[in-house]
């Protein structure tokens, strides 16, 4: 059973986002970004309430901006999904989770050392240039299930 329900168009959309956000960090980096996307869909808490589809997650607007920078600036995001990223996206959607993105709801590239918290949420770990952050204990328990 997959972690979340999805359609083939969701696989394509997620694959495009994973590539746009982390192509420079290779397959592993793209998988961590995929973890965050799926975690946000499963979370239904904090900033991620009432997100019901991959499209809702990808195109979510917070504070007047898209949650993912690649949607705004993304010449890569608006390219066709490639088969390698589609396979990675499907892997995330079906089962794949791994530290530091395993329970993360946020990531960013600080162009400096990772801060110990991000908007009050604890640092989970780093992969190459991206820092990953999990929700504080008790604030979003749904992200830690399935």
Pinpoint the alpha helices (H) of the chain: 8-22, 26-43, 54-58, 69-73, 83-94
User: Which domains are assigned to the chain?
Assistant: 8-143 (1.10.10.2520)
Tell me the pTM: 0.96
Q: What is the tens place of the pLDDT at every residue in 6-65?
A: 999 999 999 999 999 999 999 999 999 999 999 999 999 999 999 999 999 999 999 999
- Distance (Å, rounded) from C-alpha 48 to C-alpha 84? 28
CB atoms within 10 A of CB 18: 28
């Amino acid at each position: 059973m997959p972690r979340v329900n999805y359609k083939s168009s969701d696989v394509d959309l997620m694959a495009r986002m994973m590539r746009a956000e982390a192509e420079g960090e290779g397959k592993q980096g793209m998988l961590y970004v995929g973890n965050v996307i799926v975690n946000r869909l499963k979370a239904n808490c904090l900033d991620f309430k009432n997100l019901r589809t991959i499209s809702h997650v990808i195109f979510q607007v917070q504070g007047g901006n898209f949650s993912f920078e690649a949607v705004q600036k993304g010449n890569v995001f608006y390219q066709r999904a490639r088969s390698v990223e589609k396979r990675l996206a499907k892997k995330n959607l079906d089962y794949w989770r791994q530290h530091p993105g395993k329970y993360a709801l946020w990531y960013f590239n600080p162009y400096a050392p990772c801060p110990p918290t991000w908007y009050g949420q604890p640092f989970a770990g780093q992969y190459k240039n991206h820092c990953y952050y999990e929700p504080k204990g008790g604030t979003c328990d749904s992200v830690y299930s399935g």
